[in-house]
Amino acid sequence: MKILTVENISKSFGDFKAVDGVSFSIDEGTVFGLIGPNGAGKTTTLRMIMNIIIPDSGSVSLLGNSHLDKATNQIGYLPEERGMYKKMGVGELLLFMTKLKSMNKKEAEKQIDYWLERIDLMDWKKKKIEELSKGMQQKIQFIGTILHNPKLLILDEPFGGLDPINTNLIKDIMLELKENGTTIIFSTHIMESAEKLCDEILLINKGRDIVSGRLSEVKSNFGKNNVLIEYDGNDGFLKRSDQIIKYDNYGRYVEVQLKKDADPQKLLQEAMADVRISKFEIKEPSLNDIFIEAVGSENNGESNHE
């Protein structure tokens, strides 16, 4: 079942087109990464899904409803701006957040204690929000979005501002929620976290879809153009080969980027004619490689026209 369907949404601010005809849909139980550089239009897209910003054109359907109101108790949303009522107590604020989702108080209190323990902030339950560090406040806001066990979780930069330990903690909780059937869409400009978590991605740049699909397919479509070679001998084959875009040579170990339709087997033959090979590995591109290549070539392409 499709949990979320976005059809051809666009949004301009004055003359500037922040989101330009973006479409995607998300199956139940999927972790979906909305990725792209700063200013790509991720937050604007998520705000349109949440009906905070009204699209100029296009449509959004959430849990089968074209109107968010009907689905709001089944959605958890972590906005990019981390505003919380600073003077409120931690427990008090969390209880308030569950009330907004029409949660029963007894169940709410049970969930609050469970999650405060999980994120290691139980001792802070009676403190005021303003007494917590930014990262701690962010963890509180994160659990505030999941207390009501939403079917769909929408997280705008959930790892922004967190240290590596807390990043891991939130990542683990996201995976655990996924195991329990929660569908998750999150935005990030940090490729490592997207790479570990996502089943599917949509990479946007300047408001437009540039790469999308299941992460495994995106990677294989992108081609396996990176080769690692461990060798012993003279590196003449690297200079002679017409298969190579560039290489990074460490003496006995070289990382090679092949041309798009190059044949790694041919490079292997060329290498074998020159050197002894102890390792020849065709490496799948990382999401970071894909990001840099896709965004970089788009941006270069455009500046050439200017």
CB closer to ligand ADP, 41 vs 158? 41
Q: How far apart are CA 85 and CA 90, in angstroms?
A: 10
Q: How far apart are CA 98 and CA 151, in angstroms?
A: 15
> How many amino acids of this chain bind ligand ADP (CB under 6 A)?
10
* 145 touches Mg ion (CB under 5 A): no
**Of 8, 13, 163, 281, which lies in the binding site for ligand ADP, with binding defined by CB under 6 A?**
13
How many residues does the structure list for the chain? 306
CB closer to ligand ADP, 15 vs 248? 15
* 236 touches ligand ADP (CB under 6 A): no
Residues near 257 by Cβ (< 8 Å), separated by ≥ 6?
225, 226, 244, 245, 246, 247
* 10 touches ligand ADP (CB under 6 A): no
40 binds, among ligand ADP, Mg ion, none (CB under 5 to 8 A by kind): ligand ADP
Q: How far apart are CA 142 and CA 268, in angstroms?
A: 50
* 257 touches Mg ion (CB under 5 A): no
**Of 18, 49, 155, 258, which lies in the binding site for ligand ADP, with binding defined by CB under 6 A?**
18
Least Cβ distance, residue 10 to ligand ADP (angstroms): 12
CB atoms within 10 A of CB 170: 21
* 158 touches ligand ADP (CB under 6 A): no
Q: What are the residues facing 205 on neighbouring strands?
A: 208
* 205 touches Mg ion (CB under 5 A): no
* 10 touches Mg ion (CB under 5 A): no
Closest CA to 283 of 215, 239, 237, 223: 223
* 71 touches ligand ADP (CB under 6 A): no
Least Cβ distance, residue 40 to ligand ADP (angstroms): 4
CB closer to Mg ion, 10 vs 241? 10
Alpha helices for the chain (secondary structure H): 42-49, 90-100, 105-118, 134-146, 164-179, 191-197, 215-221, 236-240, 264-274, 287-305
Closest CA to 76 of 101, 59, 54, 93: 101
Q: How far apart are CA 20 and CA 278, in angstroms?
A: 49
* 140 touches ligand ADP (CB under 6 A): no
Q: What are the residues facing 247 on neighbouring strands?
A: 256
Each residue 25-64 as x (binds ligand ADP by CB under 6 A) or -, in order, gives -----------x-xxxxxxx--------------------
Q: What are the residues facing 277 on neighbouring strands?
A: 231
Least Cβ distance, residue 298 to ligand ADP (angstroms): 15
Q: How far apart are CA 263 and CA 270, in angstroms?
A: 11
Each residue 71-110 as x (binds Mg ion by CB under 5 A) or -, in order, gives ---------x------------------------------
Token pair for 275: 């050197």
**Of 6, 32, 33, 43, which lies in the binding site for Mg ion, with binding defined by CB under 5 A?**
43
* 44 touches Mg ion (CB under 5 A): no
The footprint of Mg ion (CB under 5 A) covers 42-43, 80
The footprint of ligand ADP (CB under 6 A) covers 13, 18, 36, 38-44
